[in-house]
Structure 1
Amino acid sequence: MAKFKSALLASAVSLSAGGMLSATAAQAEPLNVYTYDSFVSEWGPGPKLEAAFEAQCNCDVNFIAVDDGVSILNRLRVEGEKNKADVIMGIDDALLEETRATGLIAEHKVELPELRAELNWQDKQFVPFDMGYFAFVYDADKIAEPAKSLRELINSDASVIYQDPRTSTPGQGLMMWVESVYGDESEAAWKQLSQHTVTVTKGWWEAYSMFLEGGADYVLSYTTSPAYHVVVEEKNNYKAAAFSEGHVAQVEVAAVLNTSKQPALAQQFVQFLVSPEAQEILPVTNWMLPVAKNTELPEVFGRLANVERIGFTSEEVAAHRKAWIREWRSAAAK
């Protein structure tokens, strides 16, 4: 519908100008946003955010989806300056330096609201729009005593599904988690985990779908994932296991590309992502925490697992990621 309205608008303006292209007509070009597939699914935040922003800008938002957050970076590297995106969203904070190194990211002009204190956000190119903590989700109707630490889970025989760190931000989060807990013993940990790993998927949705179909005891997801089942399905059996060593956090970010043909509109879209309207949409569609401090949340969010944060800076990840992936591939890949 939005594409149809934009086409009519462009035609009307062009005719009124005697056939000459105007700035308004040029704006009928869609705003292209690279993101990940679950974001644009019918139950994800994409459709609602698209409708809300298009109502403000009288424009057309075109989401272009890949498997997961890491895949966005991979696509940018392949396409370079020939990319089709005005905005990227879904890269996480662990990938900031590697994404910055593409030379494709413009400085943002976004006025940030008061953010959650744990963010301590200072970056001038990337804008956070939601955050969460990686966790292993399980069905409490099937598992009465869940693992209480990452070491306990890895040393168990419980079946596990997780995501590929080469294509998926949760998979990369697990890689950071293992490295943070095990250090020099990480290769042995991966080998141990591989003995009871059902499969490693390209993206989050494929893994979570398999888990919901009974494919494994645990799936790598987020501490906020159980909120979906409570709010949407009125089910209380899905839980996130709280681990004693702590959990790796993920901050999802958006950025304007310096190759954008519509930089002003791209900046407007990124500003919208931290608006009260968008921040209230994201928690109950993307099932993550808002970044704006005073966002109203459903009551269930106050009952989610309360975990400690561990992990690495984006600079540390950039320095070690290739070596960590090589270690994972040799020890765990199937």
Structure 2
Amino acid sequence: MQIQHFHFLPFFLLLLLLSTGCFAKLHHNYYHNSCPNVESIVTAAVKQKFEQTFVTAPATLRLFFHDCFVRGCDASVLLHSNNHTSEKDNADNLSLAGDGFDTVIKAKAAVDSVPECKNKVSCADILALATRDVVALTGGPSYAVELGRRDGRISTRKSVRHHLPLPDFGLDQLNAMFARHGLSQTDMIALSGAHTIGFSHCKHFSKRLYSFHSKNRIDPTFNPSYVDELKRECPRNVDQRIAVDMDSRSSFTFDNVYFKNLQMGKGLFTSDQVLFTDRRSRETVNLFASNNSAFEEAFVVAMKKLGRVGVKTRNQGEIRIDCSSLN
């Protein structure tokens, strides 16, 4: 038994190192020598963009999530293709607001304008930093961002398929998708709280208003007064470009009101409201609704874990000169 144990332990440690190796290479002071002021440079650029339009915040946060969940946090969502075959061209990404892309572009330009930093910082790291900054600018928590990601070289429209949660997902579907990325149910609920500053186009939830389960009726989990409010903003034949706030009471502040809304039947998507209607997740929603600090702490933990998903390091990727194209 001692001999078997002797051989098993190193093998186990090897597996552990292999499974954690990528994000183990990420660390907070990654650019200490090559671009020591990178964080302040990015923050200043993001703040300037945010002061121009609030949409900067939800757009950047959503862009980061969509990037990480498809090919990992490698800025592949930023790549452009002339024949419309990149990630951003997938139907699930067409609603990504241009202000998110513009935020990264402007932050990248600000970083590269500093001679010692030029072409030293990846677009993936800039997106991760910008995401932290927009959360803080809207009143949410700030946190240390692990750095050292490389930019991916592959971006395909097909790769997005089945990698992003849909508005009509139930709890089991949400948990399964997040678990594939090492995220727990609590992580998933905390990250859903980002909808407190989010917005959505009417087409993503109109079925809940007019044809729930393919019948001419309203989703019974909806708050009746909320239904009236949404129908005014999203009539049956509404322009598909019209968008509404996902947090009807506190859309410009990153806080726990999203969870309070769920308690009142005011979750915009089925995938939002199910977090309260399903007993398995309701306790966490109630905790976050009653304790904003608990929500913020869980959100920070989840964002750090999200930022490690599928990262490329060293020779696994590149540092793009232009975030929208390969070197």
TM-score (norm 1): 0.25
Q: Larger % of helix: which?
A: 2
Q: Larger % of strand: which?
A: 1
